[in-house]
Each structure stands twice: as C-alpha cells, then as structure tokens.
Structure 1
Amino acid sequence: MFLDLSKLFGKPKKSKDFAKERLKLVLIHDRANVSPQFLEMVKGEIIKVISNYMDVDEDALDIKMTRTKAEEGDGVVPALVANIPIRKVKNSGK
C-alpha cells in the first residue's frame, strides 16, 4: 500500500502520471528479472525476519524495485527500496 501525499499536499496527480509511474515500475521489474510474485515473496521474508526484532506496521510497508547508479562504473543497477514503519523495538537484550 502506498500513501500518496500529493493528495494531501499540492495538486493531485493526473491519471497519465499514475500510468507513467506504473510503466516505470514494470520496466524496472522486467530489467531486474523479478516478477511481482517474487517481490511479494521477498516482502514476506523481510517481514518474517524483522518481526523477530521489531513490531512493524505491515499494512504501511512499502517495498519496490528501482534503479540506482552503480558504485563502480557508469552503469545503473536495480535496487530494492524498503520503507518499513516500526511501531516498537522488541526486547533488545539489554
């Protein structure tokens, strides 16, 4: 689930802007060779691991593929970007 703050602040996006954004995401997924199902599997695994240490808001969790500049060379590589809202940290063993 993605919270679009442009609806609260600033002018709302037009349908063409949403379509353009979706197309970008589809192209990124294709170039990274991952399906939406694979991304959901990764999301589930991340939730499972992080939940051992923190209480997270799964409904507000946002994981997506994007592109970023490679550390070496001039290329662009896929990147997994995760926004994980944390409700509280569980007993940290202190």
Structure 2
Amino acid sequence: MKLFGVLFGRTKTKSSQVAKERLKLVLVHDRIKVSPELLDTLKGELIGAISKHIDIDQAGLEVTITRGDKVDKLVANIPIRRSR
C-alpha cells in the first residue's frame, strides 16, 4: 500500500509525529521558562512596535520558540500586507 501513496502523492502525518512535535515545543518552552502568557505578551508588543511602521496582518502573526544547536531562538513570522 505504500507504493500507492508514493505514486499518488498521499502523505499523511502520523499522529505520533504530531505528538512528538507538540512535546518538543512544550519541552523547549519549559526549558527556557517561557509561559504561554509571556509568549502572548511578546506577541502583542511585537504587533504594537512593528505596526507603527508597517502594515501587518496581525491575525497571521506567529511567534514560536525553537531549539537550535547552541542557542534557543524566538522566531516571529509576520505577514506584511501589500498596499495597492
């Protein structure tokens, strides 16, 4: 059956893989002592500071903490609205 999935482009994310990624996220947040409330505060302050200078899609903003080789990183994905 794997052959059909490969041939027809069917790829499913296994629930175990999703659970593993969620656990990694929780562990990183716990390791660097960042609560969900603090992450929300950071997100709000980023929106305020950046939107003073550029028109952004606030609903699409994503702030995550990722674990790197030597350092942890705060990553912000900020969609910019294009003017017409």
The TM-score range, normalised by the shorter chain, is: 0.7 to 0.9
Q: Which has the higher strand share?
A: 1
Residue matched to 1:59: 59
Greater RCO, 1 or 2 (C-alpha within 8 Å, sep 6+):
1
Measure, in 2, the Cα distance between the counterparts of 1:36 and 1:49.
Answer: 20
**With structure 1 as the length reference, what TM-score do the two structures score?**
0.71
- Percent identical pairs in the alignment equals 51
* 1:82 has 2:51 as partner: no
Bigger-Rg structure (1/2): 2
Partner of 1:14: 14
C-alpha RMSD over aligned residues = 1.8
Gapped runs of 5+ residues in structure 1? 1-8, 70-75, 90-94
Unaligned runs of 5+ in 2: 1-8
Q: Which has the higher helix share?
A: 2
Aligned length: 75
Residues 1:80 and 1:10: Cα distance change in structure 2 (over 3 Å): farther
- TM normalised by structure 2 equals 0.79
Deviation beyond 3 Å, 4+ runs, structure 1: none
